[in-house]
Structure formats: structure tokens, C-alpha cells
């Protein structure tokens, strides 16, 4: 059994709870034990780095300092948290005096998509898959922070990443090439300039439809929310009619591994994923 | 100009402040406009990223710190990874937002700085973001209570809205971090 520390982050305890539930579910089936960080707190997200540099380092560093009490890797599913953790790690190495919380910079920080698309996990998936997604056509939507900036993420092919594509192909689905893999969804602007997010989401949705995808797959809770929840408003504004489910890669993993709670996870989506999954015979 | 005078002007200029604070050599910008070509939110900006850099080079402090651009930037890093001169433009945007907050200049975007400020208030009071409380905090400032109400209700029915914040033992430490940094700032 593999043991890792786990930092869910705030959104996974709220609007992205199906991401949290599916990560826990597939980890269980893959023999990975998650140890949630005790008394973890918010990483500060965009708001801290946009307004206060010292706070933007102290908030993630506090959580990393908790993680450094064990020698386990730290699994981080939210890319906003992941980015802030990597920034704090870099600062801890280069300018430790800038951190008001003591942290040495030695915890291996693993973004969930990177972690689950590793070769050894893909091998286990091949052995354990009970219901391959043959015939399901997906576009992999990475978004920004899972790949950028590469000096922090260490993703080499950041303009055309392929690790999620390899993962979904291992699950039996067809990953359709498209040019919008790493385009921004507008992220936290959804609260303040929803018009911008609708415009970016509309472009991503229309390109996914043009690629003839059955669904969009992502590993980012902001991307998921922005694309999943704004489809009706886009239609009302005359931006086209979309009915395109946006799924977490961990939900597809759960489906393939035959997890008993998959239906519960999928029932939390605003855009119904059951129609397309039934049409393809997976429900 | 006397060389000493020139040195003082250079060191106290807005350009040198941005260079010093961000650590980025933005004088290297030769206006190829690649940042603006790839920027996903450029059409909502009042100054394109390359124009913003030019204004900084010209020391147009008020124009830059009062721009919409610095708040519209979504920190997606597309500009930073494509700049042929390796200028981390997204990082400069962070620096400009920090300077803008302390400048007293009216921000070019009304709601975005307010959102960031209530987001940090929420962390300070609870340690974690409780989304529903955050939304109420924000709406009490913008007074726009109807926006997203329908969607919110739908998400509530889908079980995506957590009604009560969770209780855990990290809040005291978070307040100490905030208080220590606030005191440091005042010194």
C-alpha cells in the first residue's frame, strides 16, 4: 500500500466535493492511503498573491510545514493550491528569509493529475479496469496552472501536454486532439467579471463540440465549475446551445474501476453527464 | 542633468520601483506583442499587456496603477511562458496590484479588489474558505443579491453547497499569521 499526505483545499469541501469523493474513491481501489493534513488551512489562492506577497507565502507555507512532519509525498488536487505551494517551495529554497512561517522546502508536492497519470498507476489501471470506456470521445482540458509556469510545474510539453491524454486512453476512451488544452477559463474572475468567464467558456465549449467530443475532462475545480455551470447562461445570451458534460478525470477512473459511488459523484454536476454516458453504454 | 540628479531620478522612478519589487527586467521588452496576442482576456483590458509595459517604461504611474488591465489579468501565465525576453509578465501584474492597493489611486475595476479583500477576510476569520459565507460577504459589499441566485439554488439542490462552515483547530494560528504580518506592515 502506498501512503501519501492529502491536502484537499477549500473548494473540494464545497462546490468540488465530487472531485474529493472520487479521489478518495479511486485511491481506495488503487491501494493508496490518503492522510489528510491535520488542521489544514486555506492556501490564500489568487486573492493572497494578487494583494499581499508575504501572506501569499505564509498561508501555503503553514500547510507545507504540517506536511513536513512526515516524509510522505503531498497530494494536491486543486491547481490553485498546487501553484501556491510550488511558489512557496521555491521561495523556501531561494529566499527562506521571506517566509514568515518556518518551512524547509523538502516536501514532494504532487498535483493529482501528475500523480495519477504516472506510469506505475497506468499499469495498475490496465490490470484493474473492469469497464473500459471504449467508444467515448473526450477532449482533455488541462487549463493553466497544471502546466504553467513550467519552472514550477516541471511540465516539459506545456504548450501541448499529453499526460492526461495518456491517462484517458489507458481508460479506453479516445482522446481527441484540439488546440484549447491549456487555454484559460477565467478562473476566479467568475465572481466579479462573469461576462469574461462566459466568453472564455463559450469558446472552449464550442471548440470541444467542433472536435466532436462527448465530454470535457479536467483536473481543475475552477475549470470544471466555469465550464459546467455557465452553459445555460451562454445559451440565453445567444452564444449557442451546449449540453456538454465536464468531468473530473478521477470520475472517469472510478467508472472504469467500477467504483460503487460513481453515480453519486456524477449526479452533482449541473450539466447532466448521464445522457451521454448511457448513450455510449456505460450506465 | 547632473549625473547625481540623474541617478536619483532613476532610482525613484516608477520603472525602477517595479523592476526592484518584481525582480523582472522589463526594460528588455521590445514590443513584439506576443504577450497580448496570446492573452485570453486582452479584449477586456484597457491597456494591452505590451502597452502596459511601455507605460511603465515611460513612468506613467497613475495610468498603470489605475488601469483595468492589472485586475483583469487572470494570472494564467501564458504571456510569461511565451515572452522571447523571459519577462515574467504575470509576476509584474502581481507587483502592480500590490503597488496599486497601497497607492490610493482609484482602481480601474471596482469589484475585483473588493472580492480579493473579502476573500482574505474570510480566511482570517475561519481559516478556510466557506464558499457560502464568502458569497454573502461579497454580496454585502456589491449589493447585487440576485446575481447567480438561480444557479446557486440549483447547486444547492445538487448537494454542492455546504451550508455550515466546518470547525477545526487551525484558525487561531491563521489569525496569528495575519496579525503578525499586519503589525509588520505598520512598523
pLDDT tens readout for residues B50-65: 999 999 999 999 999 9
Three-state SS at A17: helix
As a whole number of angstroms, the distance between CA A116 and CA A190 comes to 28
Q: How far apart are CA A192 and CA B114, in angstroms?
A: 9
Q: Report the pLDDT value the prediction gives residue B12, as an integer from 0 to 100.
A: 81
Q: Do A51 and B75 touch (CB under 8 A)?
A: no
B16 Ramachandran zone, left/alpha/beta (phi>0; psi -120 to 50): alpha
**A196:B97 CB<8 A:** no
Residue A149: cis peptide before it, omega within 30 degrees of 0: yes
Q: Is B149 on the interface with A (CB under 8 A)?
A: no
Give the pLDDT band (50/70/90) at residue B2: confident
What pLDDT band is residue B186 in, cutting at 50, 70 and 90? Answer: low
B97 to A50: CB separation less than 8 angstroms, yes or no = yes
Q: Tell whether the torsion through CA atoms of A138, A218, A208 and B161 is positive or negative.
A: positive
Say if residue B178's pLDDT is above 50.
yes
| Phi-psi domain of A147 (left: phi exceeds 0; alpha: psi -120 through 50; beta: other) | alpha
**How many pairs of residues across A and B have Cβ atoms under 8 Å apart?**
164
Name the residue with higher pLDDT: B186 or A110. A110
List the strands of the sheet with A174-175, edge to edge.
A174-175, A137-141, A215-218, A246-248
* Residue B10 confidence (pLDDT): 72
Selection from A127, A132, A115, A146 nearest residue A32 by Cα: A115
CATH 1.20.1050.140 placement within chain A: 2-113
Residues of chain A contacting residue B159, judged by C-beta atoms under 8 Å apart:
17, 267-268
* pLDDT value at B3 more than 90: no
- Whether the predicted model's global pTM rises above the 0.90 cut: yes
**Three-state secondary structure of B97-149:** HHHHHHHCCCCCCCHHHHHHHHHHHHHHHHCCCCHHHHHHHHHHHHCCCCCCH
Taking CB atoms and an 8 Å limit, are A15 and B160 in contact across chains?
Answer: yes
Q: Does A13 touch chain B (CB under 8 A)?
A: yes
B41 CB neighbours in chain A (<8 A) are: 184, 186, 189, 196, 200
What integer best gives the mean pLDDT of chain B?
94
Cα–Cα distances in Å, from A272 out to A30, A231, A232, B67? 27, 11, 12, 40
Give the one of A15, A40, A233 whose C-beta lies nearest to B170's C-beta: A40
pLDDT of B4 > 90? The answer is: no
pLDDT band at B187 (very low <50, low <70, confident <90, very high): very low
Q: Beta partners for A218? A: A141, A248
A148 to B160: CB separation less than 8 angstroms, yes or no:
no
Distance CA A269, CA A264 (A): 10
- Per-position pLDDT tens, chain A of length 283: 999 999 999 999 999 999 999 999 999 999 999 999 999 999 999 999 999 999 999 999 999 999 999 999 999 999 999 999 999 999 999 999 999 889 999 999 999 999 999 999 999 999 999 999 999 999 999 999 999 999 999 999 999 999 999 999 999 999 999 999 999 999 999 999 999 999 999 999 999 999 999 999 999 999 999 999 999 999 999 999 999 999 999 999 999 999 999 999 999 999 999 999 999 999 8
Sign of CA dihedral A190, A192, A194, A196: negative
In sequence order, what are the residues at sequence separation of 6 or more whose Cβ sits closer than 8 angstroms to the Cβ of residue B67? Answer: B45, B46, B47, B52, B108
Q: What is the dihedral of CA A38, A42, A43, A47, to 10 degrees?
A: 180
- Could you tell me the CATH superfamily of domain B3-103? Alpha-helical ferredoxin (1.10.1060.10)
Determine contact: A235 vs chain B, CB below 8 A.
no
- The pLDDT value given to residue B38: 97
B8 vs A: CB within 8 A? no
Q: How confident is the model at residue B9 (pLDDT cuts 50, 70, 90)?
A: low
d(CA B78, CA B38): 7
Nearest to A207 by CA among A174, A224, A182: A182
Q: What confidence tens digit (pLDDT) does each residue in B84-140 have? A: 999 999 999 999 999 999 999 999 999 999 999 999 999 999 999 999 999 999 999
Instruction: Tell me which residue in A48, A52, A150 faces B81 most closely, judged by beta carbons.
Output: A150
Q: How confident is the model at residue B185 (pLDDT cuts 50, 70, 90)?
A: low
Q: Tell me which chain B residue has its CA closest to the CA of residue A87.
A: B91
CA–chain centroid gap for A37, Å, is 19
Q: Between B14-22 and B49-57, two packed helices, what is the crossing angle to 10 degrees?
A: 120
Q: Does position B7 have pLDDT exceeding 80, yes or no?
A: no
Please give the CATH topology (third level) of the domain spanning A2-113: Glutathione S-transferase Yfyf (Class Pi); Chain A, domain 2 (1.20.1050)
For residues A118 and A109, give the distance between their C-alpha atoms in angstroms, rounded to a whole number. 14
Indicate where chain A has its CATH 3.40.50.11810 domain(s).
131-279
pLDDT score of A35: 98
- The whole-angstrom separation of Cα B149 and Cα A32 is 39
Reply yes or no on whether the pLDDT at B80 is more than 50: yes
Tell me the CATH number of domain A131-279, given options 3.40.50.800, 3.40.50.11810, 3.30.70.260, 3.30.300.180. 3.40.50.11810
In chain B, where are the structural domains located?
3-103, 111-186
* Per-residue pLDDT, B92: 98
Residue B160 CB partners (closer than 8 Å, separation 6+): A14, A15, A17, A268
Q: Does A192 touch chain B (CB under 8 A)?
A: yes
Task: Tell me which chain A residue has its CA closest to the CA of residue B88.
Answer: A149
Amino acid at each position: 500500500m502506498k501512503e501519501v499526505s492529502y491536502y484537499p483545499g477549500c473548494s473540494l469541501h464545497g462546490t468540488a466535493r465530487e472531485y474529493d469523493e472520487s479521489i478518495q474513491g479511486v485511491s481506495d481501489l488503487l491501494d493508496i492511503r490518503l492522510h489528510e493534513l491535520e488542521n489544514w488551512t486555506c492556501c490564500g489562492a489568487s486573492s493572497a498573491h494578487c494583494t499581499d506577497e508575504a501572506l501569499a507565502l505564509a498561508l501555503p507555507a503553514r500547510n507545507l510545514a504540517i506536511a513536513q512532519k512526515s516524509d510522505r509525498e503531498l497530494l494536491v488536487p486543486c491547481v490553485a493550491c498546487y501553484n501556491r505551494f510550488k511558489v512557496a517551495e521555491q521561495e523556501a529554497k531561494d529566499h527562506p528569509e521571506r517566509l514568515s512561517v518556518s518551512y524547509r522546502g523538502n516536501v514532494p508536492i504532487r498535483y493529482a493529475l501528475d500523480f495519477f497519470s504516472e506510469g506505475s498507476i497506468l499499469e495498475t489501471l490496465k490490470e484493474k479496469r473492469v469497464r473500459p470506456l471504449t467508444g467515448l470521445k473526450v477532449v482533455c482540458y488541462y487549463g493553466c496552472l497544471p502546466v504553467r509556469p513550467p519552472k514550477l510545474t516541471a511540465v516539459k510539453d506545456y504548450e501541448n501536454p499529453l499526460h492526461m491524454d495518456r491517462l484517458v486512453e489507458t481508460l479506453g476512451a479516445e482522446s481527441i486532439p484540439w488546440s484549447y488544452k491549456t487555454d484559460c477559463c477565467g478562473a476566479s474572475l467568475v465572481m466579479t467579471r462573469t461576462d469574461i468567464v462566459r466568453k472564455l467558456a463559450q469558446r472552449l465549449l464550442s471548440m470541444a463540440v467542433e472536435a466532436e467530443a462527448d465530454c470535457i475532462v479536467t483536473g481543475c475545480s475552477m475549470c470544471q465549475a466555469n465550464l459546467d455551470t455557465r452553459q445555460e447562461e451562454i445559451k440565453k445570451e445567444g452564444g449557442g446551445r451546449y449540453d456538454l458534460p465536464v468531468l473530473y478525470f478521477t470520475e472517469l477512473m472510478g467508472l472504469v474501476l467500477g467504483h460503487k459511488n460513481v453515480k453519486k459523484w456524477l449526479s452533482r454536476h449541473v450539466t447532466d453527464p448521464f445522457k451521454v454516458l448511457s448513450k455510449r453504454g456505460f450506465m | 542633468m547632473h549625473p547625481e540628479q540623474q541617478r536619483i531620478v532613476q532610482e525613484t522612478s516608477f520603472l525602477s520601483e517595479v523592476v526592484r519589487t518584481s525582480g523582472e527586467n522589463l526594460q528588455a521588452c521590445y514590443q513584439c506583442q506576443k504577450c497580448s496576442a496570446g492573452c485570453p482576456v486582452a479584449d477586456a483590458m484597457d491597456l494591452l499587456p505590451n502597452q502596459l509595459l511601455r507605460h511603465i517604461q515611460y513612468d506613467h504611474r497613475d495610468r498603470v496603477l489605475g488601469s483595468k488591465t492589472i485586475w483583469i489579468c487572470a494570472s494564467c501565465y501564458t504571456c510569461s511562458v511565451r515572452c522571447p525576453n523571459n519577462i515574467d509578465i504575470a509576476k509584474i501584474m502581481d507587483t502592480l496590484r500590490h503597488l496599486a492597493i497601497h497607492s490610493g489611486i482609484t482602481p480601474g475595476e471596482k469589484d475585483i479588489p473588493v472580492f480579493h479583500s473579502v476573500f482574505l477576510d474570510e480566511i482570517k476569520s475561519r481559516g478556510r474558505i466557506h464558499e457560502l459565507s464568502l458569497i454573502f460577504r461579497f454580496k454585502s459589499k456589491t449589493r447585487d443579491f440576485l446575481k447567480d441566485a438561480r444557479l446557486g439554488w440549483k447547486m444547492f439542490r445538487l448537494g454542492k453547497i455546504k451550508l455550515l462552515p466546518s470547525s477545526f483547530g487551525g484558525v487561531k494560528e491563521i489569525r496569528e499569521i495575519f496579525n503578525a504580518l499586519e503589525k509588520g506592515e505598520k512598523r
